[in-house]
Amino acid sequence: MNKTTLTRILCVLVFALLATLLSFIMPRKQSNFSYYFEQGKPWNYDLLTAQQAFPIYKTEAELQTEQEEVLRNYTPFFTIEPGMADSLISGLQAEDGFRDLSQAETHQLEASLRSIYQKGVMSVDDNISQTKEGWKDIKIVNEKHVAEKQSLSTVFTPKSAYAALMQQMQDAGYKKPLDMNIYIIPNLRYDTLRSEQLYADLVSSVSLTRGMVQQGEKIIDRGEIVSESTYQILVSLRAAADEEEVDQRQSTLSFLGMIFLVCIMLGMLVLYLFMFRPHLLNDIRNSIFISVLMAIVILLAALILKLTDIPVYAVPFALVPIMLRVFYDSRTAFFCHLVTVMLVSLMLPSAYVFVLVEVAVGLVTVVSLKDVSVRAQLIATAAYAFLTQALVFTAFHLAFEGGVAGLGWEIYIYFLASALLLLPVYGLIYLAERGFGFTSALTLVELTNVNSGLLLEFAQRAPGTFQHSLQVSNLATEAAKKINANALLVRVGALYHDIGKMTNPEMFIENQADGANPLITMDEQQAAAIIIAHVGEGLRMAKKKHLPSLITSFIASHHGTSKVRYFYNKYVNAHPGVEVDETLFRYPGPKPQTREAGILMMADAVEARSRSLSQITEQSIADMVETMVSQQIADGELSETPLSLKDVEDIKRVFTESLCSMYHHRIAYPELKK
């Protein structure tokens, strides 16, 4: 088994793991009721009749009204502690402050205390609690366990009892205040057991149902509006169905069916990648990245649906196509988004509107990110996503409801929240680049800045090579545009492909301003080694500067495994009949693996050779381009790229036209006659 096959098997296993995870979070059949309905909306299913008789449950409002009615007869229970007045009087007689009272005053005090305690003294907390609940009466249970109803207004608190006692003493002619506050304590205690039992009995006396639906009775037919009464019948039917235990076999089949659905949808994604994007299956990082991204969005949707009442539209589903479009292509981004939306739709009872809205969002997102080159595009894409959600949802509602009734403004808040959650995507792109080793178009744009550290150093230390790289970049970019390759990628690769020449810039002819070439005086093998070393030096420098692997691949492959022909031919001519070790004159490779790398190889060779032409004409340039590219094809240097013969012909034509434009003839300016 080769490495490619093993990698693809591992990629399939990654998607299988995702399918397993999603299967466990998807809803399973828990009841025999599988209809979705809304009050005031049409019934979208066939005729529904009662398969068996079931009660019609009352609404929450009806239950609350009836419970309030029966609770009007509710009175909480309090038990009275007998002898509290006698105990208090006995205690007072032992206090010094009460010995000065006359016999008449003492009798008046005792009579007043007994009168007050007979009506009852309640704690302040209990009094506040009963008043707050709205109870006007209480039932006082005496020592004989007989309950008598009494108005709550006639019951004292310690403070009101003291005030009543003082008033009675003053009415009897006693004018001095008595320090009684600390002695008056409640003699009524809340009877929790009796009170709660009575409350529960009254509440339970209210029936939860009103009427019955008989077996075979029609409930609703397709197209009929779900009225308030029909809505309650459907709710009752659902409650009756939920009370029935789902057969174990039925539950198992439901789970297996859900697994099958998830596997089919993810299988379509794997089949798409295998048929149309096989290179993505050659690196397991791609499968892990796609799976993790889809799993995050789907899990977020599942949590919102299960734990909150927030609409699923608040989930930023556009995150999937944005992230995938940044690193891959539009078709792959939209296909993954479509599969994600389909998987989430399995969690929804009625998913038609959801699928329509989110598919439209995915289309707009992919189109708006056709050329990801500036950060502002991501902000614009978030705005487009919000507008698309709002417009499609509104249009659907108007088309099928015929008006704005029921179109709440709250849903647009969730649309806006979904769009705002897309704004931090730039930071997520950075994390993906660091975590998975990817390179986004935004990073490539940053790398084209010739005033950045490495390119600025390149221009200063090897100005001739830098100018050569600029010309190669222009040639390669135009060729990539012609054959619909990644023009931005090949442009960046061309700018950095020769950075290794900075180590010994004077050894390369484009940097030799005085015309002196030290390589001429060297041994051919030594000179070839110095020329070949610029590839390794470039890779070392790229690693030190943390250039993306996409760019380092251009450095490694821009000469492929070709020979340093000048010194190879010179050595062979100088040593006739001697067997030559060609590895001493060959670049280490590898050969170009992509269309972009193949374009760079051709552009590099053609631009360098164009500087040695003795005569610059359209024909000489065309012949040179044909010779150089044909030589590379004959040597097999382009054999591992996916370039077609038509691509190569288009590339040669672009090279010829571009070089002719670079070296076009200029008219001579006339001298000014004196």
Residue 225: strand pairing partners: 42
Query: Which structural domains are found in the chain, ordered by start?
Result: 3-27+249-422 (no CATH), 77-190 (no CATH), 441-662 (1.10.3210)
Q: What is the pLDDT of residues 273-283, one digit of tens each?
A: 999 999 899 88
222: left (phi over 0), alpha (psi -120 to 50) or beta: beta
Q: What is the pLDDT of residue 238?
A: 80
- Burial label for 96, CB within 10 Å (0-12, 13-18, 19+), is exposed
Are 510 and 620 contacting, i.e. CB atoms less than 8 angstroms apart?
no
Residue 54: strand pairing partners: 213
Q: Provide the whole-model pTM.
A: 0.68
**Nearest-10 Cα torsion for 532, 535, 541, 542:** 180
- Burial label for 287, CB within 10 Å (0-12, 13-18, 19+), is buried
187: which residues sit within 8 A by CB, 6+ positions away? 80, 81, 84, 85, 117, 120, 121
Query: The dihedral of CA 609, 611, 612, 614: what is its sign?
Result: positive
The DSSP output letter for 520 is G
Q: What is the mean pLDDT of each run of 10 residues along the chain (674 residues)?
A: 83 91 75 73 83 86 87 89 80 65 78 86 87 86 86 88 83 70 81 89 87 88 86 84 61 81 94 92 92 95 90 94 91 96 88 92 90 74 94 88 74 94 89 89 87 89 93 95 93 95 91 80 91 95 92 95 91 87 92 95 94 87 94 94 94 94 68 68
Query: The dihedral of CA 553, 556, 561, 566: what is its sign?
Result: positive
φ and ψ of 189, to 5 deg: -120, 135
Residue 37: which of 171, 215, 207, 222 has the closest Cα?
222
φ and ψ of 7, to 5 deg: -65, -40
Q: What is the pLDDT of residue 94?
A: 64
- Burial label for 339, CB within 10 Å (0-12, 13-18, 19+), is buried
12: which residues sit within 8 A by CB, 6+ positions away? 270
What's CA 254's distance to the chain center, in Å? 28
The whole-angstrom separation of Cα 369 and Cα 357 is 19
Residue 663, CB half-sphere, CA atoms under 13 Å: how many? Answer: 20
In 69-173, where do the E strands start and end? 77-80, 137-141, 147-151
Q: What is the pLDDT of residue 422?
A: 92
The DSSP output letter for 629 is H
Q: What is the pLDDT of residue 338?
A: 97
